[in-house]
Structure 1
Amino acid sequence: MAAQCNLIIDSCCDLPLSMLQIEGVDTLNFNYVMSDGDHEDDFYQSITPHEFYEKIRNGETPSTSQASPAAIEAAWRRAAENGIPTVYLCFSSGLSSNYSTAAALLAQVKEEFPDAPLYLVDLMIGSTPEGLLVLEALRQRDSGLSAEELVEWAEQARYFVQTAFMVDDLDALHRGGRIPASVAAAGSALNVKPLLTFDTSGHLALMGAARGRKKGLKQMADFFAKEHDTQGGSPVVLIGNADCPKDAETLRDLLAKQDESITVVQHNIGATIGSHVGPGMVSISFWGGDRRENMSVADRIAAKIKRG
């Protein structure tokens, strides 16, 4: 069945570029800055993952920025001019201003092309979970979902992606303003490996801690055993690593012992996310239950108010 819509995907999905070099998919690169100047997060086309993380190990403290407004506008304009319904599955607004910029530029382009079928979805996740959702979105698109149907699907599917990731420390996340100082201080004081996830508003949340990487990987495998979908959903599991492939292999082996039916896709954590988590991050994402069901009563009320 021919696809009925095109997609725009940003580099924060951390998928290999080869998975996105297909007809009807446009990519947007975020950016990062090191001491030698500005760089595009180009899915590791201009630098290898090991080279990037070695620079951080050697003292680099890269900063990041959203995709350039010019690049975002150009993507919207290409989509409007070709007339094919297009959906941008965007990195979490809770961690970047990229979504608000994309929304403003979409409104601008729509003034010139008022009938253009262009859509924007805030995925409220990023990195490995964003990659998992993108892979399934591609499958849904290829199975015949229209742009409007894909938007509706993505706005629900984002809450069924379960994820956990372990970092060596929280310093880089704190420097980048992605977590509060109190959370970073608590992690350092306890001398543990923090485990984080995304909350339902697209922000990072501390979900636990482990005494050492081995125990952390075990906790991630236990999280999968508890939360993954066993009712015939997608068997795909994504494991990401920030230049620590042996840990990714260990986690894969732990998962295989629990469920031999899963399909594990391993990938490198990209430069944008890697700038904030540093080397040594390991992540897992899979399909599970509705994360909104775990919200507190106060958070559920707040979510309803925000939805209007």
Structure 2
Amino acid sequence: MTIKIITDSASDLPQDIIKEYDIDVMPLLVYLNEEEYLDGDTLKSKELFDGMRDGNVYKTAQISPAVFKEKFTDIAKKNQSCIYIAFSSGLSGTYQTGELMKNEVLKEHPNLDLDIIDTKCASTGFGLVVHKAGKMAKEGASKKDIINTVKFYSEHMEHIFTVDDLEYLRRGGRVSRAAAFMGGLLNIKPVLDVEDGKLIPIEKVRGRKKVLKRMIEIMEERGTDLKNQLIGISHGDDLKGATKLKEMMEERFGCDKFLINTIGCAVGAHSGPGTLAIYFLNEKR
């Protein structure tokens, strides 16, 4: 029996991959002036980033318990064997809510065959994990093998990114008002990482060109067998910047397999337009 893969919209997967591997994606919530939107459904990335450039402030929220309960109940009724691959518990409550609702549904449907994994990953780094699971499921891999691979990918996925404007991180409480102001004046571009599922700054670089160069250097320092990996690149409505990173990787490492996509609304509401991120494994099996 084919294993059903479920995830949430913070995985920022392109629609063609979602369709190819029949991945079930639950949207996180985005709010503008108290109006609710579904990430990637009733609100698209382009609209969000244009709105942010115009001064709109978006807020985000996790998937509601009711949505989880309905989804998991449907799984039980269909007797499906499923894996829910979740957004980092360090950045959202979706994993914890999923676990709670799984236990609720088990009371009524003890046949529920569902495993939930906290990837501690975000955006396309998270998406690469889900993509691998979907590919394995389609090829008929066992649930145990998929779970082991998902855990390995989650533990070894690097997230290296930069933002174009520190103001968006300030709104999310990641940097102070003074730091955002001075960073803007001095054209400071932070290099950030996701460590144990949480966002951390690791360096500050002056200027866009230098920060891209530094991201590639860090990739070389941390990556393993980069030439033969599927490399993730995501961007906040900056395809030109993403393409530049791709070209730098092709030249430096000989990479030729890429998953490039726009950052979704749930993540983009906090990182802002102009964000650029790269994702790769620091170890391979």
Distance 1:94 1:68 in 2: 18
Structure 1 residue 205 corresponds to structure 2 residue 200 = yes
Distance 1:196 1:70, change over 3 A: same
2:158 to 158, 162, 178: 162
Contact map agreement 2:132 2:150 (CA 8 A) in 1: no
Shift of 1:263: 0.7
Deviates further, 112-121 or 88-97: 112-121
Q: Which residue of 2 aligns with 1:303?
A: none
2:221 matched residue in structure 1: 226
Corresponding residue SS for 1:265: strand
Deviation at 1:288, TM superposition (A): 1.8
Measured after TM superposition, the shift of residue 117 of structure 1 is 1.3
1:37 matched to which residue of 2?
Answer: 35
CA distance in 1, matches of 2:178, 2:115: 40
AA of the residue aligned to 2:221: K
C-alpha separation in 1, matches of 2:181 and 2:195: 22
Aligned to 1:285: 279
Partner Cα distance (2:268, 2:255) in 1: 30
CA gap 1:164/1:20 in 2 versus in 1, 3 angstroms: same
**Cα deviations by residue, 1:132-179 (Å, 9 ceiling, x for unpaired):** 1111122222333322332232222211111201012333234234x3
Partner residue in 2 for 1:79: 75
Q: Report the number of matched residues.
A: 281
Pair 1:207–1:289, CA change in 2 (3 A): farther
1:274 is aligned, of 259, 268, 272, to: 268
Aligned residue runs from structure 1 range 142-157, under 5 A: 142-157=138-153
User: Please, which of 110, 120, 130 is the counterpart of residue 124 of structure 1?
Assistant: 120
User: SS at the partner of 2:270?
Assistant: helix
Following the alignment from structure 1 to structure 2, what is the Cα–Cα distance between the partners of residues 229 and 142? 26
Q: Displacement, 1:189?
A: 3.7
User: Aligned partners of 1:237, 1:94: CA distance in 2, in Å?
Assistant: 23
Q: Deviations over 1:49-98 (max 9, x none)?
A: 33321111111000000112222112111211111210000000101111
**Corresponding residue for residue 243 of structure 1:** 237
Contact kept? 1:187, 1:193, Cα under 8 Å: no
Q: Aligned letter for 1:59?
A: G
Q: What pairs up with 1:6-155 in 2 under 5 angstroms?
A: 6-22=4-20, 24-35=22-33, 37-42=35-40, 45-155=41-151
2:216 alignment partner, SS class: helix
Instruction: Name the CA distance, whole Å, in 2 between partners of 1:176 and 1:73.
Output: 29
Q: Percent identity?
A: 28
The TM-score normalised by the length of structure 2 is 0.91
Asked if 2 retains the 8 angstrom alpha-carbon contact of 1:187 and 1:194, the reply is: no
CA distance in 1, matches of 2:170, 2:88: 18
Following TM superposition, by how much is the alpha carbon of 1:186 offset from its aligned partner in structure 2, in angstroms? 4.4
SS of residue in 2 equivalent to 1:197:
strand
Which amino acid in 1 is paired with 2:153?
A: A
Shift of 1:48: 4.5
Give how far 1:257 is off: 0.3
Cα deviation digits, residues 168-202 of structure 1 (max 9, x gap): 2333234234x3x46x75465454111111102x1
TM-score by length of 1: 0.84
Q: Contact conserved, 1:242 with 1:269, CA < 8 A, in 2?
A: yes
Residue type of the partner of 1:250? K
Deviation at 1:21, TM superposition (A): 2.1
Pair 1:239–1:231, CA change in 2 (3 A): closer
User: Structure 1: which 5+ residue stretches go unaligned?
Assistant: 291-308
Letter matched to residue 209 of structure 1:
K
Q: 8 Å contact 1:80–1:116 — kept in the other structure? A: yes
SS in structure 2 of the partner of residue 21 of structure 1:
helix
Tell me which moved more, 75-84 or 239-248. 75-84
